[in-house]
Amino acid sequence: MVKKEEITKETSLNNSNNKITTVEIVKSEKTDIESTKPNLLPSIDASSKSLPKYPAVFSTEDIREKMTPILRHMYDQEEGAWFRQPVTEAIAPGYFDIIKYPMDFSTIFKKLDENQYLTPFQFCEDIWLVFNNTWTFNKKSQRVYKAGVKLADIFMENVDSIMKEYGYCCGRQYVFLPPAMFCYGIGGICCTIPRDGDYFVYNNPDSSRNNLSGDKYTFCKKCFDSVKSDYILVGDDPAQTLAELSKSEFHQAKNDHQEQETMIDCIVCSRRFHNICVLYHEHIWPEGYVCKLCVQQYNIKRKENRYLAHKLTMTDLANTLQQRVNEFLRKECDPNIGRVTIRVLAASDRVCEVKPRLKKHFGPQIPDGYPYRTKAIFAFQEIDGVDVVLFGMHVQEYDGRCPAPNTR
């Protein structure tokens, strides 16, 4: 509601027997503040069984209008030629034995034109399906593989802002790269199996056997091929009797498995988010995830996070480290950076036992064990009300009780 008032003011000026009258109209507006307040829904707890569901509904025309330029931009790139049309058996023999859900740019154009994408997330899924199929079927050294990498970067650069407008976290795909694996080695000398490296693995059917308690035993290709006989010696402790396994019981594999980041659905609007983007943890919010948009739009009250690092027991070591780190951050970094909390999460006294082979080599001057204290020190940073581990360190402390040469 707007109210208007008119005030007329007259002023006279006598000059040379002439009278000039000036009329000034002043308008004042008064806005009814109460009418501009949003009509908030009654507050409801996220864990309530009566929590309503409001599935997000998107305009298929709007999705087509916003996503078509992105697809067209990738299509027109030189690298886009690889993905414009469906792959055929003549082009790539054996393709459909490996790829079960083929996808290409022309098919995505067709689905956009026919308004088949009910959510923008479905569009992103098909784009990533194109690239994932390429990376699965082809080798990293091939041009088509590299073309997929380049177009994926272009896609992420352009789609993120649009997905955020739709209420999502982003339009990216996050994967965990394969870690380096442990090779049991030959003659007691161990090594590692690098990422994308070939290796041989033995899946142990009986973990109750003596000195063979692991689920599987892995050897890098170099170590495996260095054994000229048809049998290879395997065991948990090289000082004990090793099991003799036939090489035929091992099968070859490649350390290239990538684990995709877990997705989580909002229990109110059903939008999908990366777990790592929204920092959701089921132990903090067992009722499920509620996105920020739904919290604001539907006045939903989320459960307070009780798992905060600063509530953990403080020690002198943690206090000293925490003060120094935060003081450095205040001086050298953005003052608005989230606080860093450092805590010693575990501390216990243990003994490092000397192995028989080491004892035999150095003689009686070596003790049976070296007592020490082990500590686990972790640093947390607050991000959107959640403490995220950014650094972890395990240490072994030796003091005056420990025999030489580890005495301090």
- Same domain assignment for residues 321 and 375: yes
Number of domains in the chain: 4
- Same domain assignment for residues 86 and 160: yes
Q: Flag whether 351 is in a domain.
A: yes
Structural domain ending residue among the three candidates 254, 272, 300: 254
Structural domain ending residue among the three candidates 116, 135, 166: 166
Q: Flag whether 203 is in a domain.
A: yes
Q: Flag whether 237 is in a domain.
A: yes
- Same domain assignment for residues 30 and 74: no
- Same domain assignment for residues 162 and 71: yes
Q: Flag whether 408 is in a domain.
A: no
Question: Which pLDDT belongs to residue 2?
Answer: 41
Nearest to 209 by CA among 182, 240, 181: 240
Nearest to 200 by CA among 153, 270, 152, 249: 249
pTM: 0.69
Tell me the sheet residues that pair with 350. Answer: 372
Residue 340 CB coordination number (10 Å): 19
- Same domain assignment for residues 185 and 152: no
Contact between 380 and 389 (Cβ < 8 Å): yes
- Same domain assignment for residues 151 and 68: yes
Cα dihedral sign, 243-249-255-258: negative
Contact between 81 and 91 (Cβ < 8 Å): no
Contact between 289 and 265 (Cβ < 8 Å): yes
Q: Tell me, what DSSP letter sits at residue 204?
A: -
Q: Flag whether 52 is in a domain.
A: no
- Same domain assignment for residues 160 and 72: yes
How many Cα atoms occupy the beta-carbon half-sphere of 195 within 13 Å? 7
Cα-based distances in Å from 362 to 173, 241, 295: 54, 22, 67
Contact between 267 and 184 (Cβ < 8 Å): no
- Same domain assignment for residues 13 and 74: no
Provide the residue type at 1 as one letter.
Answer: M
Structural domain ending residue among the three candidates 166, 200, 218: 166
Element (H or E) spanning 374, and its range? strand 369-383
329: CB partners within 8 A, 6+ apart: 337, 340
The per-residue pLDDT string of the chain (408 residues; one tens digit each, 9 = 90 and over) reads 444 444 444 444 344 444 444 434 444 443 343 333 445 678 888 888 889 899 999 999 999 999 999 999 999 999 999 999 999 999 999 999 999 999 999 999 999 999 999 999 999 999 999 999 999 999 889 999 999 999 999 999 999 999 999 999 999 999 988 877 889 888 767 788 988 889 999 999 988 888 888 889 999 999 999 999 999 988 888 778 888 899 999 999 989 888 889 999 999 999 999 999 998 988 888 999 999 999 999 999 988 888 888 888 999 999 999 999 998 988 888 777 778 999 999 999 998 888 887 788 888 778 888 889 999 999 999 887 788 899 999 998 888 888 887 777
Q: Flag whether 303 is in a domain.
A: no
Question: Which pLDDT belongs to residue 6?
Answer: 42
In the numeric block, the tokens 């020490």 are attached to 372
In angstroms and rounded to an integer, the radius of gyration of the C-alpha atoms of the chain is: 33
What residues make up the domain containing 23?
2-36
- Same domain assignment for residues 134 and 107: yes
- Same domain assignment for residues 320 and 228: no
